[in-house]
């Protein structure tokens, strides 16, 4: 079965919008995308509400609800999107998400009779500020890149880099949702216990090996009842969409605390997501085949399906850039550090959902998964400084003469993602960024 059965008129690459900026080459948010966020105008006392990106503009969904353009299921969906979080809309399910997408696509398309009424519902993205798109009740961080797992394993466990369960089970741990923030939320360098290899006792102080992790954030739409697992073939019906995610990590704190129960204070001090959730329907043209090496263990039946094999992967380009304080002072732009692709992931989104619920765990609207650091097979595709600098032993040289082993105060880490290929519209995710402030 090809991906063609997933496509409909909203994916037509020839489709254009009366919002002219959406038709520009290289635009992140053409009419084929229509991602969701929660926003308000900067510096106002307005309520946060849902919005959809179209070119350089945001369609205010609360205003669109009152425009008189929409009716039926789409109008009900817009009412849900008018709240200050998208959980109610996300919980309405795939058929409602798709109905609203189609209605918005028709209303924003070139020649639409809705232009006059909806033109007044646009807000420039440059004039907007964002909140978390939904209430993230629970957050699970997975470990789906075998390239990252192997590379990091060599640094923490040289004799046993890849634990024997890795190729059998999508590994994950329960993270801290309260410290997930929206792009632009700067944070203070964390403090904690660390222990140098030559020390006899641990010490306390600011983290010295602060790192980023390039990840995908996966948002659950409608969940499942306690005790009722989601099958792998139904898993993506429960996934509302995807964002770019930076899971900040304190490597020296992590090295001391991670055994025997895994990450704790090394991960829960800050995580940052991009404002826009790109729906799984918008990503349909970029579904790709998923394979498993014949010499590796093949997935157990609950993690295996023809559908997952033929279209379980997402072809999403991912990039990390760094802007140092010195660069800002010299008015220099950020420099790229690495680029990878989500299709190199060892486990798929559907497998993550199926595994998370196979024991009867109930997912809820707004729950988020982190994909784990997305590193590719080549050194320049590493998704963390830990890998790029070989655990700090090989400094990364920047174009302005600076070097980095790990991140310094004042560094601004920027991540982005996009899908692009012949015969389909480019789909972008926007940016996620945050600056490191000195420890207290």
What sign for the dihedral angle of Cα 261, 266, 270, 275? negative
Check: CB of residue 74 under 8 Å from CB of residue 103: yes
CA dist., res. 170 & res. 354, Å (int):
10
Q: 121-134, pLDDT tens digit by residue?
A: 999 999 999 999 99
DSSP annotation of 285 = G
* Cross-strand bridge partners of residue 224: none
Q: What is the pLDDT of residue 120?
A: 97
Q: How confident is the model at residue 161 (pLDDT cuts 50, 70, 90)?
A: confident
pLDDT tens-digit profile of 170-201? 999 999 999 999 999 999 999 999 999 899 99
pLDDT tens string 165-177: 999 999 999 999 9
| Angstrom distance (rounded) from CA 410 to CA 188 | 10
Contact (CB, 8 A) for 82 and 65 = yes
Dist CA 364 CA 238 (whole Å): 10
Q: Is the dihedral of CA 154, 159, 165, 171 positive or negative?
A: negative
pLDDT tens for each residue of 252-305: 999 999 888 889 999 999 999 999 999 999 999 999 999 999 999 999 999 999
Query: In sequence order, what are the residues at sequence separation of 6 or more whose Cβ sits closer than 8 angstroms to the Cβ of residue 11?
Result: 32, 282, 284, 285, 424, 425
Question: What is residue 433's predicted lDDT score, i.e. its pLDDT?
Answer: 98
Residue 154 pLDDT > 80: yes
**Per-residue pLDDT at 153:** 84
- The whole-angstrom separation of Cα 144 and Cα 314 is 13
> Mind telling me the catalytic residues?
148
pLDDT of residue 145: 93
Q: Yes or no: say if 337 and 322 are a contact pair by the CB < 8 Å rule.
A: yes
pLDDT band of residue 1 (cuts 50, 70, 90) is: low
- Identify the pLDDT of residue 180: 98
Q: What is the pLDDT of residue 2?
A: 60
Phi, psi of 129 (to 5 degrees): -125, 155
CB 337 within 8 A of CB 318: no
pLDDT at 416 over 70: yes
Check whether the bond before 354 is cis (ω within 30° of 0).
no
pLDDT tens per residue across span 48-104: 999 999 999 999 999 999 999 999 999 999 999 999 999 999 999 999 999 999 999
Are 272 and 291 in contact, with CB atoms under 8 Å apart?
no
Among 115, 35, 30, 102, residue whose Cα is nearest residue 73: 102
The sign one gets for the Cα dihedral 242, 246, 248, 254 is positive
**Minimal CA–CA distance to 360: which of 225, 235, 222, 171?**
225
Return d(Cα 32, Cα 99) in angstroms, integer: 14
Strand order in the sheet with 49-54: 122-124, 57-60, 49-54, 36-41, 128-131
What is the chain's alpha carbon radius of gyration, rounded to the nearest angstrom? 22
Q: Could you give the CA distance from residue 154 to residue 44 in angstroms, rounded to a whole number?
A: 50
List the beta strands (DSSP E) in 248-316. Answer: 249-250, 271-273, 278-279, 287-288, 313-314
pLDDT above 90 covers a percentage of the chain that reads 93
Query: Is-contact 30 124, C-beta < 8 A?
Result: no
Beta-ladder partners of 243: 217
Q: Which pLDDT tens digit goes with each residue over 16-34? A: 999 999 999 999 999 999 9
Residue 188 burial (C-beta neighbours within 10 Å; 0-12, 13-18, 19+): middle
- Does residue 224 sit in helix, strand or coil? coil
Question: Hunting for tokens 């001090």 — which residue is that?
Answer: 269
Q: Is the pLDDT of residue 156 over 90?
A: no
Mean pLDDT of the chain: 96
pLDDT of residue 39: 98
Which pLDDT does position 140 carry in this prediction? 98
pLDDT tens digits for 196-248? 989 999 999 999 999 999 999 999 999 999 999 999 999 999 999 999 999 99
């Amino acid at each position: 079965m090809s991906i063609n059965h997933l496509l409909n008129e909203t994916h037509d690459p020839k489709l254009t919008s009366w919002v002219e900026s959406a038709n520009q080459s290289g635009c992140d948010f053409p009419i084929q995308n229509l991602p969701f966020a929660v926003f308000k105008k900067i510096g106002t006392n307005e309520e946060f509400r849902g919005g959809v990106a179209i070119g350089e503009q945001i369609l205010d969904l609360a205003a669109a609800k009152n425009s008189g353009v929409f009716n039926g299921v789409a109008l009900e969906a817009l009412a849900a999107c008018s709240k200050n979080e998208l959980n109610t809309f996300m919980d309405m399910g795939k058929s409602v998400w798709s109905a609203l997408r189609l209605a918005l696509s028709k209303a924003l398309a070139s020649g639409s009779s809705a232009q006059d009424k909806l033109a007044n519902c646009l807000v420039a993205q440059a004039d907007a500020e964002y909140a978390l798109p939904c209430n993230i009740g629970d957050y699970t961080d997975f470990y789906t890149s075998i390239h990252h797992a192997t590379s990091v394993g060599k640094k923490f466990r040289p004799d046993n880099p890849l634990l024997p369960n890795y190729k059998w089970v999508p590994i994950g741990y329960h993270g801290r949702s309260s410290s997930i923030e929206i792009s632009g939320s700067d944070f203070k360098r964390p403090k904690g216990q660390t222990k140098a290899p030559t020390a006899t006792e641990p010490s306390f102080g600011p983290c010295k090996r602060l790192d980023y992790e390039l990840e995908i954030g996966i948002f659950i739409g409608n969940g499942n009842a306690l005790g009722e697992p989601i099958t792998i073939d139904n898993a993506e019906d429960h996934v509302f969409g995807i964002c770019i995610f930076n899971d900040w990590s304190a490597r020296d704190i992590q090295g001391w605390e991670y055994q025997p129960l895994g990450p704790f204070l090394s991960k829960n001090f800050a995580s940052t997501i991009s404002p826009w959730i790109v729906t799984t329907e918008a990503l349909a043209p970029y579904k790709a085949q998923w394979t498993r090496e014949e010499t590796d263990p093949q997935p157990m039946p609950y993690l295996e399906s023809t559908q997952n094999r033929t279209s379980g992967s997402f072809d999403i380009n991912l990039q990390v850039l760094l802007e140092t304080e010195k660069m800002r002072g010299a008015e220099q732009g950020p420099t790229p550090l690495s680029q990878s692709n989500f299709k190199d992931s060892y486990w798929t989104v559907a497998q993550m959902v199926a595994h998370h619920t196979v024991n009867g765990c109930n997912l809820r609207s707004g729950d988020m998964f982190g994909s784990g650091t997305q590193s590719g097979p080549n050194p320049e595709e590493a998704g963390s400084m830990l890998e790029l600098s070989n655990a700090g032993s090989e400094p990364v040289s920047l174009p302005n003469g600076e070097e980095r082993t790990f991140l310094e105060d004042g560094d601004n880490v920027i991540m982005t993602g996009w899908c692009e290929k012949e015969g389909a519209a480019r789909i972008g995710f926007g940016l996620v960024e945050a600056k490191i402030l000195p420890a207290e």
